[in-house]
Structure 1
């Protein structure tokens, strides 16, 4: 299962105990009455060289630089990482949301690719294999992508507070976090096996797309503590609170379960990740 909206829906239905998402779903969950906590965090070794997203530009849109997006129609999903990235991109070029037309749509599968190609929007954040797919299909028509130059690499495991209050489930999640930390290292050391075993065999992608994604992903790093992770997460929360008028949130106190802060990193020393 991928994506904050689907994960939150599963949490509310008590059909899922732990989810893997970027930085926005835990915030959006709390703001919409779903009490969750982050229990693990990872980041990318060279995040600006290995971004999750690039900014897709529709064929025919007169946009050669991100500073040109004033007045453009921009795909926007408030509860997903893509939505926060849009706000951060606007901020980075000195624009406010009212300087563009935000077109609300959830990013699921090819939604943003199709929206760009069908002239529903001029600009949309695209991630992973969608970047390659978009250019393969529509570059001949004038489709392009632009780098945004921002960090977009946070990745988390999170769980409902009700799950973490169950002692047996909390203990199981602690073991999961340890294993997850070791898995991130293993992936970085075995990119070809990861490409074939996950992207090809599990996700059904072509070997070419799998190789492309592994190259884009780079190497994940498990931080020894959460200080810098939380500082960046707090800045994002403050931006969303200001622009989307959500209540202020103390990320360390209200979003992270600091009992798990060192668990993933400690797991790296408890056994050979290979």
Structure 2
């Protein structure tokens, strides 16, 4: 069984292979990072400070939240400065943490886990999930036009995109287990997914891979729209959770009392932002996806629907169980040690975002 295939077509897939190689080279030095943790500063068991000293800056990678903050003028209320970065997606966020250029990142279940496995201590400080997660999937499988895959059982013997630092890897492994296919009976093509989904979509369309987990939003719609006439289609994965979203930060940022105090306030506003997005899908569609991303309004509404209708729980019991399932799925398959998911969460933040979201739910805006 081959875990990686390096016969890349030109364009975005080749670029993704280069990025994957660069990240792998970067993390070859990850063990040294484990010994570079701050030995001084605010203990992770200490209460969060109330006061933000002058000059504190939080570097945040979360474009949608940035637009919500700017649209509502919330940055003017903050006793610190936010530097927004166009850094999203597990591999890029982890690399930015490693380089020390980011304080706050957003990702699905796997990126915080993978960061710890790579020797970068991080903590989850906020969590969200779909309010309708019982009936909605965040990802579906894109099927290549000539792959001859009609059901998930047909994945046997096929080439499947696999990004071990992203939730897509969890989706692949859980799907194979659910349909009774052994990992050695498929070829996992190591290929990081882009935020826009173009890398996976282009690889599918070109025939470089046979199947890939792609986002069940505009990515899936565009893929079928652009290549459906050639036989491209999508399949739903078996019923398991794929919807969790985490705000996570390096422990070095939490060890800084000023940043820790700023994070306490930022996460409150992040919770408000989730509730605001839920209540204003048309504003998000027109303001962010049309105004900032240049999408046609019909496509923008698809993305706004995918972004919204989320819940911010006030208890992390479900979130911890969700993260533990991801650890227990991927750890044995990627030869990484088992982690206790509870150690990934900074429980000092547990109620902050949920309380903020609940404080405005159902109120007129």
TM category (shorter chain) comes to over 0.9
TM-score normalised by structure 1 residue count: 0.95
For the 8 Å contact 1:51–1:216, the answer to whether it is kept is no
What is residue 262 of structure 1 aligned with on the other side?
Answer: 351
TM-score normalised by structure 2 residue count: 0.72
For the 8 Å contact 1:42–1:222, the answer to whether it is kept is yes
1:172 equivalenced with 2:258 (yes/no): no
Q: How far is 1:273 from its partner? A: 8.3
Of residues 141, 148, 163, the one that matches 2:230 is 141
Q: How far is 1:233 from its partner? A: 0.9
For the 8 Å contact 1:45–1:218, the answer to whether it is kept is no
Q: Distance in 1 between matches of 2:125 and 2:252?
A: 13
Q: Cα deviations across residues 146-174 of structure 1 (Å, max 9, x unaligned)?
A: 11133210001000000011111011111
Of residues 79, 99, 103, the one that matches 2:189 is 103
SS at match of 1:156: strand
Q: Cα deviations across residues 102-150 of structure 1 (Å, max 9, x unaligned)?
A: 0111112411011101111110111132111111110000000011133
What is residue 162 of structure 2 aligned with on the other side?
Answer: 76
For the 8 Å contact 2:274–2:357, the answer to whether it is kept is no
SS at match of 1:230: helix
For the 8 Å contact 1:185–1:273, the answer to whether it is kept is no
Change in CA separation of 1:273 and 1:125 when aligned onto 2, cut-off 3 Å: farther
SS at match of 1:202: coil
SS at match of 2:129: strand
Q: Distance in 2 between matches of 1:216 and 1:268?
A: 18
Aligned ranges for residues 108-257 of structure 1 at < 5 Å? 108=194, 109=196, 110-127=198-215, 128-148=217-237, 149-253=239-343, 255-257=344-346
Q: Cα deviations across residues 32-85 of structure 1 (Å, max 9, x unaligned)?
A: 011100000000011243322110000021111112211111011111111111
For the 8 Å contact 1:52–1:217, the answer to whether it is kept is no
For the 8 Å contact 2:126–2:349, the answer to whether it is kept is yes
For the 8 Å contact 1:20–1:158, the answer to whether it is kept is yes
Q: Distance in 2 between matches of 1:83 and 1:265?
A: 28
Q: Distance in 1 between matches of 2:303 and 2:201?
A: 17
Q: How far is 1:100 from its partner? A: 0.9
Q: How far is 1:96 from its partner? A: 2.5
Q: Greater Rg, structure 1 or structure 2?
A: 2
The size of the alignment, in residue pairs, is: 273
